Chains A and B, each alone.
Chain A
Amino acid sequence: MTTSECCLDPVRPLLLRRAPVVFALLGLLTVLMLGINVAVGSIAFSPAEIWQALRNPAEASTTSFILWNIRIPRAIAAVFGGAYLAASGLLLQIYFRNPIVGPYILGISSGATLMVSFVMLTSVTVGWTLFTPFISTLAAFAGAYAVMLIVLAIASRIKGGVTLLIVGLMMGYLCGAVTAILTAFAEKDKIKGFVLWQLGSFSGFKWDEITILLVLGGAILALLYLQSKPLNAFLLGEEYAASMGVNIRRFRLLILLCACALAGMITSMAGPVAFIGMAVPHMARLGFGTSDNRILIPGACLTGGLVASLCDLIARTIMAPVELPLSAVTAFFGAPIVITLLLKRRVKL
Chain B
Amino acid sequence: MNMPANRPIISVRGLSVGYGNTPVLRDISFDCRPGQFISLLGPNGAGKTTLLRTLSRHLSPLAGEIRVQSRPLAALPAMDLARIMAVVLTDRIAPPLFTVFEFVALGRYPHTDYLGRLGAGDRLAVTTSLAAVHALNLAHRLFADLSDGERQKVLMARALAQEPQVLLLDEPTIHLDLKHRVEVMAILRDLCRTKNITVIASLHDVDVAAKVSDRVALIKDGGMIDWGAPESALTPEAVAGLYDFDKAEFNRHLGGIELRGEGDRGRAFVVGGMGSGALVYRMLAKKGFAIATGVVHTNDLDCFVARSLGADCVTVDPMETIDAAAAQQAATLLDDCDFVIDSGFMIGAGNLANFDLVQTALNRGKTVFSLRPHQPGTPLAAGCVHCNTAVQLIEALDGFAAPSTLCRVQEA
Residues of A near any B CB (own CB < 8 A): 3-4, 6-13, 16, 226, 228-229, 232-233, 235-237, 239-240, 242-247, 285, 289-292, 294, 347-349
Q: Return chain A residues, CB-CB under 8 Å to B126.
A: 8, 10
State whether B97 touches A290 (Cβ < 8 A): yes
Assuming the contacts A3-B124, A291-B97, asked whether A246 and B102 have C-beta atoms less than 8 A apart, the reply is no
In B100-143, the 8 Å CB interface with A consists of: 101-102, 105-107, 109-110, 112, 114-116, 118, 120-121, 123-124, 126-127, 130, 136, 139-140, 142
Q: Which residue of A lies closest to B128 (CB)?
A: A6
State whether A7 touches B94 (Cβ < 8 A): no
Q: Return chain B residues, CB-CB under 8 Å to A240.
A: 87, 89, 91, 93
Assuming the contacts A8-B130, A12-B140, A291-B97, asked whether A245 and B79 have C-beta atoms less than 8 A apart, the reply is yes
State whether A245 touches B81 (Cβ < 8 A): yes
* 23 residue pairs from A and B, CB less than 8 Å apart: A3-B120, A3-B124, A7-B123, A7-B127, A10-B102, A13-B142, A229-B109, A229-B116, A232-B116, A235-B95, A235-B98, A235-B106, A243-B87, A244-B82, A244-B106, A245-B78, A245-B81, A245-B82, A245-B110, A291-B98, A294-B115, A348-B94, A348-B96
- A172 to B192: give the CA distance in the assembly, Å: 53
| Closest A-B pairs by Cβ, 5 of them | A245-B82, A229-B116, A244-B109, A245-B79, A235-B95
Assuming the contacts A243-B82, A291-B97, asked whether A226 and B114 have C-beta atoms less than 8 A apart, the reply is yes
State whether B116 touches A289 (Cβ < 8 A): no
State whether A228 touches B89 (Cβ < 8 A): no
- A7 to B124: give the CA distance in the assembly, Å: 5
Q: Return chain B residues, CB-CB under 8 Å to A292.
A: 102
Assuming the contacts A8-B139, A229-B116, A243-B85, asked whether A291 and B124 have C-beta atoms less than 8 A apart, the reply is no
| Closest Cβ–Cβ distance, residue A300 to chain B (whole Å) | 14
Q: Return chain B residues, CB-CB under 8 Å to A244.
A: 82, 106-107, 109-110, 162
| Closest Cβ–Cβ distance, residue A44 to chain B (whole Å) | 44
- A6 to B94: give the CA distance in the assembly, Å: 28
| Closest Cβ–Cβ distance, residue B412 to chain A (whole Å) | 65
Q: Return chain A residues, CB-CB under 8 Å to B96.
A: 285, 291, 347-349
| Closest Cβ–Cβ distance, residue B140 to chain A (whole Å) | 6
| Closest Cβ–Cβ distance, residue B334 to chain A (whole Å) | 61
State whether B124 touches A6 (Cβ < 8 A): yes
- A6 to B128: give the CA distance in the assembly, Å: 9
User: Which residue of A13, A244, A289 has the most chain B CB atoms within 10 A of its CB atom?
Assistant: A244
- A16 to B143: give the CA distance in the assembly, Å: 13
- A6 to B93: give the CA distance in the assembly, Å: 29
**Does B276 count as interface, using CB distance less than 8 angstroms?**
no
**Does B86 count as interface, using CB distance less than 8 angstroms?**
yes
| Closest Cβ–Cβ distance, residue B88 to chain A (whole Å) | 9
Q: Return chain A residues, CB-CB under 8 Å to B110.
A: 244-245
Q: Return chain B residues, CB-CB under 8 Å to A239.
A: 53, 56, 58, 87, 89, 91
- A12 to B139: give the CA distance in the assembly, Å: 9
| Closest Cβ–Cβ distance, residue A179 to chain B (whole Å) | 36
**Does B99 count as interface, using CB distance less than 8 angstroms?**
yes
**Does B144 count as interface, using CB distance less than 8 angstroms?**
yes
State whether B109 touches A233 (Cβ < 8 A): yes
**Does B175 count as interface, using CB distance less than 8 angstroms?**
no
State whether B98 touches A13 (Cβ < 8 A): no
- A6 to B125: give the CA distance in the assembly, Å: 10
**Does B57 count as interface, using CB distance less than 8 angstroms?**
yes
User: Which residue of A6, A10, A242, A294 has the most chain B CB atoms within 10 A of its CB atom?
Assistant: A10
| Closest Cβ–Cβ distance, residue B148 to chain A (whole Å) | 16
- A347 to B98: give the CA distance in the assembly, Å: 11
User: Which residue of A3, A239, A245, A349 has the most chain B CB atoms within 10 A of its CB atom?
Assistant: A245
| Closest Cβ–Cβ distance, residue B104 to chain A (whole Å) | 10
- A290 to B123: give the CA distance in the assembly, Å: 19
- A318 to B317: give the CA distance in the assembly, Å: 100
- A347 to B102: give the CA distance in the assembly, Å: 17
State whether B95 touches A236 (Cβ < 8 A): yes
State whether B109 touches A245 (Cβ < 8 A): yes
| Closest Cβ–Cβ distance, residue B195 to chain A (whole Å) | 17
- A239 to B82: give the CA distance in the assembly, Å: 12
| Closest Cβ–Cβ distance, residue B152 to chain A (whole Å) | 14
- A292 to B328: give the CA distance in the assembly, Å: 79
Q: Return chain B residues, CB-CB under 8 Å to A4.
A: 120
In B49-88, the 8 Å CB interface with A consists of: 53, 56-58, 78-79, 81-83, 85-87
State whether B101 touches A347 (Cβ < 8 A): no
- A11 to B126: give the CA distance in the assembly, Å: 13
State whether A294 touches B116 (Cβ < 8 A): yes
Q: Which residue of A lies closest to B121 (CB)?
A: A3
Q: Which residue of B lies closest to A228 (CB)?
A: B115
Q: Return chain B residues, CB-CB under 8 Å to A246.
A: 78, 109
| Cβ 8 A contact of B97, one of A242, A247, A285, A294 | A285
- A9 to B78: give the CA distance in the assembly, Å: 29
| Closest Cβ–Cβ distance, residue B257 to chain A (whole Å) | 32
Q: Return chain A residues, CB-CB under 8 Å to B87.
A: 239-240, 243
State whether A289 touches B97 (Cβ < 8 A): yes
| Closest Cβ–Cβ distance, residue A91 to chain B (whole Å) | 15
Assuming the contacts A229-B109, A285-B96, asked whether A242 and B78 have C-beta atoms less than 8 A apart, the reply is yes
State whether A229 touches B121 (Cβ < 8 A): no
- A348 to B53: give the CA distance in the assembly, Å: 29
Contact with A along B134-175 (1 / 0, CB 8 A): 001001101010000000000000000010000000000000
Contact with A along B317-340 (1 / 0, CB 8 A): 000000000000000000000000
- A6 to B127: give the CA distance in the assembly, Å: 8
State whether A243 touches B86 (Cβ < 8 A): yes
Q: Return chain B residues, CB-CB under 8 Å to A349.
A: 96
Assuming the contacts A10-B123, A240-B89, asked whether A229 and B107 have C-beta atoms less than 8 A apart, the reply is no
Q: Return chain A residues, CB-CB under 8 Å to B95.
A: 235-236, 291
State whether A11 touches B140 (Cβ < 8 A): yes
- A180 to B75: give the CA distance in the assembly, Å: 52
- A4 to B123: give the CA distance in the assembly, Å: 9
Known A-B contacts: A10-B126, A243-B81, A245-B83. Give 9 more (CB < 8 A). Answer: A6-B124, A7-B123, A7-B127, A8-B136, A8-B139, A236-B95, A242-B58, A245-B110, A290-B97
- A102 to B354: give the CA distance in the assembly, Å: 79
User: Which residue of B81, B87, B116 has the most chain A CB atoms within 10 A of its CB atom?
Assistant: B116
State whether A348 touches B82 (Cβ < 8 A): no
Q: Which residue of A lies closest to B159 (CB)?
A: A243
Assuming the contacts A232-B116, A233-B109, A245-B82, asked whether A8 and B127 have C-beta atoms less than 8 A apart, the reply is yes
Q: Which residue of B lies closest to A288 (CB)?
A: B97
| Closest Cβ–Cβ distance, residue B149 to chain A (whole Å) | 19
- A7 to B83: give the CA distance in the assembly, Å: 22
State whether B106 touches A232 (Cβ < 8 A): yes
- A185 to B121: give the CA distance in the assembly, Å: 68
- A243 to B58: give the CA distance in the assembly, Å: 8
